[in-house]
């Protein structure tokens, strides 16, 4: 639909599929069936279709960090890592064609702030994908068109049906493209060790045992194989000690978030001053009470209201008036210190963003 909208606006359009991973699973965006659907869709609107192999870069820049993050006890978001490289690859292809622009079907917008390109939320807030694009650099945004940013998903589907495009009623994808289904099977196949460890409560009492920390994600409730008087959730994964910490759901609430790999595109510092932060894909943004820069590319964010679901490895994306002004990778979430306290328990919660 992005290609059709541009063609109807007078652009000359070529279509391209970036093949990222060798996968025969029909749920994967890189399966032969998926590439054939893309080709058939392009041909249905009279556009030539090209396939670009980017598997080597993807394995190094996206898949390897995904595996390492889980082994370190984090919950990574590979889509955030993928988009900058994938779009840069398409810009290279556009240069070979002598094309001025690259377009995708993301539900987001490119706007200008003080003359600089920025990602902004799409009109369809239920499908907004600006969160997934926060790491795309300005030099790529200068070449990027997002024709669906002003449309809702139902409007796009209706227009696709009217144009008789093959995937008009194709279900939304919610899988990791290279590991559809259970990501633990993928990790096991990539050599994740079956290393026994303890499941403990917040006081360190042993409640059970597990066969590998990477089999768990923070916030997980099912599959713990332990019994208790109240529901227990994974609060933290101490990969270096081989321990999984569990506790009550109330312990998942966080009011302070620590970040690494901070990117600043107009964040400011101190009082939040209209700043919001989104802490997982499709979650509501929460107000920022204070942003404190730490050494290196680290920061500490104090939230105006508590958030249930802060997960190390996920992205924290900052917005001001729906425009992305920065982001970082979550290192930890904690409860706000009260006067006279000596610290607080580190608590985290599950979040697995998908596109």
Q: What is the CATH number of the domain that holds 264?
A: 2.40.30.10
- Domain, as residue range, for 204: 193-247
CATH number at residue 230: 2.30.30.280
Whether 343 maps to a domain, the answer reads no
pLDDT tens track for 127-141: 999 999 999 999 999
My answer on whether 37 and 119 are in the same domain is yes
- Residue 311 CA: distances (Å) to CA of 26, 133, 192, 279, 299: 30, 19, 21, 8, 16
> What pLDDT score does 67 carry?
94
Q: What is the pLDDT of residue 71?
A: 93
pLDDT at 314 over 50: yes
Over residues 197-235, the pLDDT tens digits come to 999 999 999 999 999 999 998 888 888 888 888 899 999
Residue 176 lies inside a defined structural domain of this protein: no
285 located within any domain: yes
Mean pLDDT, rounded, of the chain: 88
Question: What does the pLDDT read at residue 182?
Answer: 82
- Is residue 341 in a domain? no
Number of H helices, E strands in the chain: 8, 17
Q: What is the CA radius of gyration of the chain?
A: 22
Active-site amino acid positions: 82, 177
For the chain, helix, strand, coil in percent to 5 are: 25, 30, 45
Q: Are residues 6 and 128 in the same domain?
A: yes
> What pLDDT score does 352 carry?
36
Query: pLDDT higher for 299 or 349?
Result: 299
Number of domains in the chain: 3
Examine the domain organization and report whether 286 and 259 are in the same domain.
Answer: yes
CATH number at residue 19: 3.40.50.620
């Amino acid at each position: 639909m992005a290609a059709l909208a541009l063609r109807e606006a007078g652009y000359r359009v070529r279509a391209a599929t970036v093949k990222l991973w060798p996968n025969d699973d029909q749920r994967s965006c890189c399966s032969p069936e998926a590439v054939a659907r893309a080709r058939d869709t392009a041909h249905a609107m009279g556009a030539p279709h090209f396939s670009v192999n980017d598997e080597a870069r993807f394995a190094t820049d996206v898949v390897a960090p995904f595996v390492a993050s889980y082994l370190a006890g984090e919950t990574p978001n590979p889509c955030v890592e993928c988009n900058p490289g994938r779009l840069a690859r398409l810009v290279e292809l556009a240069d070979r064609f002598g094309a001025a622009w690259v377009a995708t079907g993301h539900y987001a917008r490119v706007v200008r702030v003080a003359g600089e390109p920025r990602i902004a939320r799409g009109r369809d807030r239920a499908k907004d994908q600006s969160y997934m694009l926060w790491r795309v650099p300005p030099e790529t945004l200068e070449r990027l068109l997002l024709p669906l940013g002003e449309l809702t998903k139902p409007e796009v589907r209706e227009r696709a049906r009217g144009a008789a495009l093959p995937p008009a009623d194709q279900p939304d994808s919610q899988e990791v493209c290279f590991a559809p289904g259970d990501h633990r099977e993928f990790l096991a196949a990539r050599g994740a060790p079956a290393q026994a460890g303890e499941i403990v409560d917040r006081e360190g009492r042993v409640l059970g045992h597990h066969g590998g920390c990477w089999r768990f994600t923070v916030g997980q409730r099912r599959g713990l194989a332990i019994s208790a008087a109240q529901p227990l959730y994974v609060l933290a994964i101490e990969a270096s000690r081989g321990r999984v910490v569990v506790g009550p759901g109330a312990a998942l609430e966080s009011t302070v978030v620590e970040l690494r790999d901070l990117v600043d595109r107009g964040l400011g510092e101190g009082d939040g001053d209209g700043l919001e932060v989104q802490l997982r894909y499709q979650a509501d943004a929460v107000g920022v009470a204070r942003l404190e820069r730490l050494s290196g590319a680290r920061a500490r964010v104090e939230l105006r209201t508590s958030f249930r679901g802060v997960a190390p490895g996920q992205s924290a994306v900052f917005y001001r008036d729906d425009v992305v002004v920065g982001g970082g990778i979550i290192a930890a979430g904690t409860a706000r210190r009260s006067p006279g306290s000596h610290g607080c328990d580190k608590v985290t919660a599950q979040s697995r963003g998908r596109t």
